[in-house]
Amino acid sequence: MVLPVAFGWRHLLFANWPVDADAVDARLPDAFPVETYDGDAWLSVVPLVNVHVRPRGLPEAFGLPLPELNLRTYVTHGGEPGVYFFSLDAQGVLSVLGARLLHHLPYYYARIDCRVDGGEVRFRSRRRHPGARPARYEAAYRPTGEPFEAEPGSLAEFLTERRRLYTQGSDGSVRHTDVEHDRWTLYPATASVGRNSLFEANGFDRPDSEPTCYYSPGVDVVTDRSRRWTPGH
């Protein structure tokens, strides 16, 4: 049995683009209808740093820092909303292999550098996974304005307040991982992106609109083990 994992998410940028729902739906397994907000599907690029990654119950001192970059969208299954990841790039080889095997998530090994300087986060990622499509990302981002919590029914809530990750097992089964954490403290954010090939690497056209960006200093997280979905769960 896979133990629940405890860790923290830190220095997150949520960079979000409205896109045609049919274009996203075409890239999703049939089991996961795309969820829309005001008629649009959304693609989000999220760089972050996982900290203190460890089995739940162990002290933080036993944990590891693991920077990560993902491209995701928003779906439902059985009436329950969640996140669907098209790709997740991460620094640790063992972590990538473990996540692929135990959580059935599309992780790829990447070389990632993340530095915080004067309130600005500088994030660089280059995928080095054997046989995978190349993907690079370089950005500098920072919070602006005042902190807030997403209002019920708002776009910010739709894009950030999710507590379930969906994926599909190698046997075609629907699987989910449930996530526990406090509500996000968010800030409006500004981001200067020097390079981003995640869309092309995942078969999408590059959006021609400007993204809606939020920054969060982070939350502490506990995830359940990956489970096969059954009605009512």
pLDDT given for residue 74 in this prediction: 98
Where residue 24 falls (left for φ over 0; alpha for ψ -120 to 50; beta otherwise) is alpha
pLDDT given for residue 189 in this prediction: 98
DSSP structure class, residue 100: H
Q: 9 vs 63, 73, 169, 231, CA distance in Å? A: 13, 18, 25, 30
Q: 118-131: b or e for each residue (b if 16 or more CB lie within 10 Å)?
A: eeebbbbbbbebee
pLDDT given for residue 1 in this prediction: 43
Q: Assess contact for 228 and 175: CB atoms under 8 A.
A: yes
pLDDT per residue as tens digits for the range 97-152: 655 666 678 899 999 999 999 899 999 999 999 899 999 999 999 999 999 999 99
List of domains in the chain: 5-228 (2.40.400.10)
Four-point Cα dihedral 203, 205, 211, 214, nearest 10: 0
d(CA 189, CA 196): 18
> Which portions of the chain are predicted below pLDDT 50?
1
Nearest to 166 by CA among 31, 54, 18, 1: 31
- 137: how many CB neighbours lie within 10 A of its CB? 23
Length of the chain: 233
* DSSP string covering 113-171: EEEEETTEEEEEEEE--TTSPP-EEEEEEEE-S--B-PPTTSHHHHHH---EEEEE-TT
Angle at 162 between CA 159 and CA 168, to 5 degrees: 105
Residues with Cβ within 8 Å of 131's Cβ and at least 6 positions away in sequence, in order, are: none
pLDDT given for residue 169 in this prediction: 83
Q: Assess contact for 104 and 174: CB atoms under 8 A.
A: no
